[in-house]
Structure 1
Amino acid sequence: MLMRLRDIHKSHAGAEGPVPVLRGVDLDLDAGETMALTGESGSGKSTLLHLAGGLDRPDSGRIEIAGTEVTRLDDSGRARLRRGTVGVVFQQFNLIPSLSVGDNIAFQARIAGRHDPARARDLAERLGLGPQLSKYPEQLSGGQQQRTAIARTLAARPELVLADEPTGNLDETTAEEVLGAMLALVEDTGAALLMVTHSERHAARMSRRMHLSGGRIA
């Protein structure tokens, strides 16, 4: 089992006290598996993804990824996990505007000590970014920027990819193309993928789906 979440609880501060967001969530994901996480807005999807990626801490519960208990790690330990084992693709592209496309793709892999120029070029070509490598993010379309963000994540060879509405800012045609490219590349690398999505069509392309409702798996 690559990822195991057990009895995850999380609340956010509200005007009248803590507001429960996750209420005892259990979730397992195997290596090489793809899973869609669906649910209405406010159901806790992004919160759960951020907890799995070590971007936040649960109030209680246990998170294990690749044999590491994430809930026992300090901030630097969770950062190391994201550099080496877990890759995150956000709805907002979070590219570095001062770096070229090629350097943005290489950025995460360099930090992880896994930069492979040949792999970076292959990812760029497969994502249709070959002619764009010397350009800067502001010169790209939204679809090209999201492709760059996906390439940056996969260039570091993570075992687990967490994607939070990665096509949410794209038009329907571009979203389908980007998702197809991401799924093909994830399959090639053997990484697992957990993707938050509102799209039934996109959820149907995953090998499994889980639905959050009222902070619980429905």
Structure 2
Amino acid sequence: MLLDVREVAKGYEAGAGRLQVFSDVSFRLDAGEAVALTGESGSGKSTLLHLCAGLDRPDEGQVRLAGQDLAPLDDRARAALRRESVGLVFQQFNLIPSLNVSANLSFQARLAGRADAAWLEQLAARLGLSPLMDRYPEQLSGGQQQRVAIGRALAGRPRLILADEPTGNLDAATGDAVMALLLGLVAETGAGLLMVTHSERLAARLERRLHLAGGGLA
């Protein structure tokens, strides 16, 4: 078992009082498993993804990643665990403006001590980035930046991939190619994939689905 979420609840203080996003959310994700996370806008999909990555803490419940309970870890320890085990693809690209495509792709893998030139070259080719390696983020389209962000997350061959609408800024053909790459990595390395998507077509390509609705998993 790679990811174990037990009876997790999360809410936020709002102007009119406390807004409860969800409660009593429990699920497990095994190594080598690809799972879609669906739900209406505002249902808490991104919030749940952040909790799984240790970017935020639940109000109640427990999140265990690779057997490690995230709750007692301080910020530095959680960052180290993410660096070693997690590939993150969020809606904001978060590329480093001062680095070119090649350096952005290899950034996280280098931090984790797992930079592999041959794998990076293969990733760049499969993502259609080979001709763009010397360009900087400001010289790229939104779709190109998204592909760089996806490649960066995959460069270190993470144990767990957490992806928030990873194909949202891509055309259908490129989005399908990226999905094939994500699912291929899961098959090749035994990584787990939890992917937020609004697309019924893409969700159907994954092994199973978790659906957030009404403050919990439906």
Alpha-carbon distance in 1 for matches of 2:124, 2:171 = 21
* Corresponding residue of 1:151: 151
Q: Point out the more displaced range, 33-42 or 139-148.
A: 139-148
* Corresponding residue SS for 1:108: helix
Which amino acid is 2:170 matched to? L
The percentage of aligned residue pairs carrying the same residue is 61
The alignment status of 1:74 with 2:53, answered yes or no, reads no
1:209 partnered with 2:195: no
Describe the SS at the equivalent of 2:57. coil
Partner letter of residue 35 of structure 2?
Answer: M
* Deviations 1:90-117 (CA, angstroms, capped at 9, x unpaired): 1121111211111001100111111122
Partner of 1:118 in structure 2? 118
Instruction: Determine if contact 1:10/1:20 at 8 Å carries over to the other structure.
Output: yes
Please give the per-residue CA displacement for 1:115-134, whole angstroms capped at 9, x wherever unaligned.
12222112112222112111
8 Å contact from structure 2 (residues 5, 64) kept in 1: yes
1:157-196 matched pairs, under 5 angstroms: 157-196=157-196
Q: Is the 8 A contact 1:91 1:167 kept in 2?
A: no
State the Cα distance separating 1:181 from its structure 2 match: 2.6
RMSD of equivalent CA atoms: 1.3
- Counterpart secondary structure, 1:7: strand
| 175-184 or 16-25, which deviates more | 175-184
Q: TM-score, normalised by structure 1?
A: 0.95
Mapped partners of 1:143, 1:190: distance in 2: 27
Residue identity in the other structure for 1:48 = L
Separation of aligned partners in 1, 2:189 and 2:95: 23
- Which whole-Å deviations, capped at 9, do the CAs of 1:154-211 have from their partners, x for residues lacking one? 1112100000111222333433332233222333222110001111011001111010
Amino acid in the other structure paired with 1:175: G
In structure 1, stretches of 5+ residues that fail to align are none
Total equivalences in the alignment: 218
> Equivalents in 2 of 1:175, 1:116: separation in Å?
25
Q: Conserved in 2, the CA contact under 8 Å of 1:143 and 1:175?
A: no
Q: How does 1:58-137 map to 2 (within 5 A)?
A: 58-137=58-137
Query: Could you say what secondary structure the match of 2:13 adopts?
Result: strand
Give the CA deviation at 1:79: 0.6
C-alpha displacement of 1:214? 1.5
- Divergent runs of 4+, >4 A: none
Q: Which runs of 5+ in 2 are unaligned?
A: none
- The CA deviation string for residues 41-93 of structure 1, in whole angstroms up to 9 with x for no partner, is 11111110000001100001011111111122111111111111111101121
**Alpha-carbon distance in structure 2 between the residues aligned to 1:125 and 1:174:** 13
Query: Which residue type is aligned with residue 12 of structure 1?
Result: Y
Query: What residue in structure 2 maps to residue 22 of structure 1?
Result: 22
